[in-house]
Amino acid sequence: MKTSGAFLASLLAGTAVAHPPPRPPPPTCVTPVQRKEFRDLTSTEKFNFLSAVKCLMEKPPSLSAIYPASQSRYDDFIAVHQAYTPYVHWVGQFLPWHRAFLQEYEDALRDECDWDGGLPYWNTVLDFPNITASPVFTGNLSFGGNGVGPVVPSGVSGEGNCVIDGFFANMSVHFAQGAPPSVTTDRCLLRYMRPDWAAYWFNPGKLAIALAQPNYETFAPTIEGDMVLPLPFETLGIHSGGHAALGGDMVDMFTSNSDPIFYPFHANLDRIWAKWQAANPTARQYEVGNPIAPRGDIQMWPSPPAGNVTIDYVLEPLKVKSTPSYTKVGQIMNIQGKGVRPAPGKPHGVLCYEYVE
Ligand SMILES: [Cu+2]
């Protein structure tokens, strides 16, 4: 007994010695990147941010081998959004996928175009009484106004006027609207604002309804909207209603990020989600769900898997960066979850930003 006890003890000691030293914990989120409301940026910050977007528009593409229509780094993001549209809209992964997509865009602005802030958001509630007078759309340091001239038919979904003022005056859009494969084109950015629609969907009452939702199952579609034919206006939601209120390229669900306002608009939806999560973090920080398959009447994903989205769900590939730092929904549920595991044994979070009110 004594011998075997000593033998066991020596074995255990051996095991302890052979054990590698514990790995240091991954870095956590100490200084979150600040995402500010666009109109709260100083003139210098507005200029630097808008210049960084223009820089992406002028940089050669990285993804033209996969997406031949892409002519710039900015276009790479349009190509990816267009390619994955059927899998990331009206599905459980809508909010997480777009959160990750925005992070890649912010990273590109910071890493490739010297922007040193966070992605600005557009707080649409501030503009519901009169969207066309918004500082987001007026003046040289803005996204430009409603466009002028005869309405340009897009041939697909979002007709509109050519945007000729603001920081992106007379920019060129290289993607035809609609599903891939994309036709390369060279045309103006289109807008066609509908102030009455903006007044309806950007109303504080609509926001309050969304924030009052008790769980992810109802919260997510309240934000995103549905596609129930023949498309009653009330089913659009803040997301689809907002796209529709801006008109032009923003209406086309495949290529709506041709319009640079797409990103501040979506950052605001992400902010609303983060706000809803923060109101009850114990229950909501890692709460996700809803079917992987698209809901509504337009089944753009021909044979989707069964089941619901969980924190283990692998996001549709985000190929904008060559090496994405995250793959699973659980890693981007917490906007300050860098280095924190959503649950024991799960891959740790990667995000580190905050929305400045
Ligand atoms: Cu989208």
pLDDT at position 320 is 64
Report d(CA 22, CA 9) in Å as an integer: 22
Joined tokens for residue 213: 């939702």
* pLDDT tens profile 254-271: 999 999 999 999 999 999
The set of residues, in sequence order, having a beta carbon less than 8 Å from that of 218 and lying 6+ positions away, is none
* pLDDT tens profile 51-82: 999 999 999 999 999 898 899 999 999 999 99
* pLDDT tens profile 153-162: 655 566 788 9
Is the CB of residue 53 less than 8 Å from the CB of residue 109?
yes
Q: How far is the CA of 98 from the centre of ligand 1 (A)?
A: 6
Q: Is the pLDDT of residue 322 over 60?
A: no
Q: How far is the CA of 193 from the centre of ligand 1 (A)?
A: 19
Report d(CA 201, CA 117) in Å as an integer: 29
The number of CA neighbours under 13 Å toward the Cβ of 226 is 14
Q: Cβ–Cβ contacts within 10 Å for residue 280, how many?
A: 12
Q: How far is the CA of 42 from the centre of ligand 1 (A)?
A: 29
The set of residues, in sequence order, having a beta carbon less than 8 Å from that of 221 and lying 6+ positions away, is 237, 290, 295
pLDDT at position 301 is 87
Q: How far is the CA of 254 from the centre of ligand 1 (A)?
A: 7
Q: How far is the CA of 255 from the centre of ligand 1 (A)?
A: 8
Is the CB of residue 254 less than 8 Å from the CB of residue 81?
yes
Is the CB of residue 82 less than 8 Å from the CB of residue 182?
yes
| Segments in 179-335 forming alpha helices (H) | 195-201, 204-211, 216-224, 237-246, 262-278, 281-284
- Before 181, cis peptide (omega within 30)? yes
Is the CB of residue 220 less than 8 Å from the CB of residue 95?
yes
* pLDDT tens profile 14-51: 444 567 777 777 789 999 999 999 999 999 999 999 99
Strands in 100-159 per DSSP E: 148-152
Helix/strand/coil for 314: strand
User: Tokens 């528009």, residue?
Assistant: 57
231: confidence class by pLDDT, cuts 50, 70, 90:
low
> How far lies 247's CA from each of 87, 129, 199, in Å?
23, 17, 14
pTM: 0.91
Q: How far is the CA of 58 from the centre of ligand 1 (A)?
A: 23
Q: Is the pLDDT of residue 171 over 80?
A: yes
Q: How far is the CA of 252 from the centre of ligand 1 (A)?
A: 10
Domains in the chain (CATH in brackets) are 36-139+193-323 (1.10.1280.10)
